[in-house]
Amino acid sequence: MKIPTEIELQAAQLRDTLNEHNYYYYVLDDPHIPDSEYDRLLRELQALEAQYPELMRPDSPTQRVGAAPLSAFAEVVHTVPMLSLNNAFDDDEVHDFEKRVRERLRVQEIEYVAEPKLDGLAASLRYEEGLLVKAATRGDGSRGEEVTQNVKTIKAIPLRLRGDDFPRVLEVRGEVFMPKAGFDHLNKQQTARGEKTFANPRNAAAGSLRQLDSRVTGRRPLTFLSYAVGVVEGAQLPNSHHDILHRLQTWGLPISVYMQVVNGVQGCLDYYQDILAHRDNLPFDIDGVVYKINRVEQQEQLGFVSRAPRWAIAHKFPAQEALTQLLDIDVQVGRTGALTPVARLSPVNVGGVTVTNATLHNQDEIIRKDVRVGDTVILRRAGDVIPEVVRVLADKRPDSSQPFVLPDKCPVCGSDVTRAEGEAVVRCTGGLICPAQRKQAVQHFASRRAMDIDGLGDKLVEQLIEGDLVKSVADIYTLSKEQWAGLERMGKKSANNIIKAIEKSKSTTLAHFLYALGIREVGESTAGLLAQQFGSLEKLMSATEKDLQKIPDIGPIAAKHIVAFFQQSYNREVIQRLQEVGVHWAAPTEQPSAATEQSLAGQTFVLTGTLSSMTRDKAKKRLQALGAKVSGSVSKKTSCVVAGEKAGSKLDKAQALGVKVIDEAGLMALLEQ
């Protein structure tokens, strides 16, 4: 049915009007019409779209809620990692941060952008040609969960950007959060329905954003503020962080009205005190303020360390504290065998959360603070940090109290415990025979970045351990179909699926296998280095600490743990059993020399565009294997930019800076040398 021209124009006018009023309401905080008038316009547009379905557009204000529930969230790999921030807890640490950046930049004073640190959930929004196409949570910084349908229900987030000067691709980073008023109203609704209330706005926001049914998210009072950008292609953004954020605002994205440009460390500290004084009157929860160097060129010059930028820091507010009684001290055994004393407390509310447990860290901390069962203690909870006992009120101590000492036997398996020289942690020596460690070891072994046994989640692992079906990770490969089918919520089909996944996992890589073993100090990166340098498990198992310390990034502590792990007979037995049941990996055709392996050491590469012969992630790993650093942004210090198909602004910037650029053929030639 042909739509009359006047109807098309009427619908377009309604869409534009509603989007404009969304901008006034959520971005400028300056509503031009009452809510009732907005609702009337929305109903008018809904009626037109119902009569003429062809009018429906993905960026229509009517399309924010209504998608069918998902069965699970898809994984999203962040092209530019969503980094966390280092923290400062007092003025001295802010001064230290300022000193470090001034010395690196060789300047006397620095201009910062300061804004409140929202207590919500970090998210990224990807716009293509101005249309919102994907939204994801931060996750671990490298990978998050796709929550596009849920994010579309948040009215503060535009489905289409305003204007026509936005980049072809624009990724916006920001915080999804729940204002205090909305949180209070939500909890009243939960109570009226007889449902569980939320502990605090942050938990409510996180739980709401991660609903599989976007209609549930749409009923929650979530909002959003932008604070950074990620991927940008097809346009050049301003050269200051402040101006970038204001550019986002012109495109319809809300930013903090409390953001300020300040000069030097004193400007930062004055801003901190001002926000702290008004903290309780703000419409949302915050746990500190964030300082970011304003000039983008200086940000790029400083770069990153580990998983945090050198050019920004979070200045946290003083931790919220409460008084309670310590009822008992339990000892937990972790995956690595660490014995951790945990305080069991009389329930107390700290920062909107009811706390019943707190870490006591280790025996040295217990002695230093003289913590005893029955003590009245001051408890601290700082943001997401695990609650801890700060201080004991000795004058309230019972006369019968006794000093607490960690046991000399593992409370789970009865094995001896040991404490390495120079370490504060006491550990169980039971290794993989300790049930407490077995559970964590199996979960780690089966995880996606280790052996990647699809379907073997925490619930199944718990059943395997509790049923005494698995005494070591090798037992996973010997369980029968009947044993799998006999587990709770498992049938023949599920049993077949898990057996197929286990069989598939037998074919792995040496790096994944080493990471799966759970050796202390051996994460993914170190496991890759070990596999690359030694080439075979046998060579690695016979390596000395001296051999290991010859490898870049492996220090004496990591070397000591690696050698100690392979010296234990029960660890060797488990490895032997794993190989006997068929776990294998391809042997390298030729062991490269140390010189070849690090032939790109000291060089920084940037990947942009699409590669046809391999993924960018694989290209990144191959470059890193040769000693190169792979960055997400181009600067004067970039050694080379690899430009694939449809390369964007990074290629433009490289050419403007005179940075060397190679295409995919050049990359392949480089890797094959």
Q: Is 257 left (phi over 0), alpha (psi -120 to 50) or beta?
A: alpha
C-beta separation of 49 from 55 below 8 A: yes
The sheet carrying 660-662 orders its strands as 629-631, 604-608, 640-643, 660-662
Q: How far apart are the first and last CA of the chain?
A: 63
| CA–CA separation, 89 and 93 (whole Å) | 7
CA angle 300, 303, 304 (to 5 degrees): 150
Instruction: Give the active site residue among 2, 117, 506, 629.
Output: 117
Helices (DSSP H) in 309-434: which residue ranges? 363-369
C-beta separation of 356 from 328 below 8 A: no
What element of type H or E holds 301? helix 296-302
| 316 among known catalytic residues | no
**Inter-CA distances, 417 with 139, 403, 413, 562, Å:** 35, 19, 10, 19
Among 60, 32, 20, 18, smallest CA distance to 162 is for 20
Among 519, 505, 568, 510, smallest CA distance to 538 is for 510
**Inter-CA distances, 313 with 100, 109, 185, 227, 600, Å:** 12, 17, 33, 14, 31
| CA–CA separation, 27 and 5 (whole Å) | 32
Burial, 591: exposed, middle or buried (Cβ in 10 Å; 0-12, 13-18, 19+)?
A: middle
Which tokens hold the place of 417? 């415990």
CB atoms within 10 A of CB 300: 17
DSSP 123: E
Q: Which sequence positions are flagged as catalytic?
A: 117
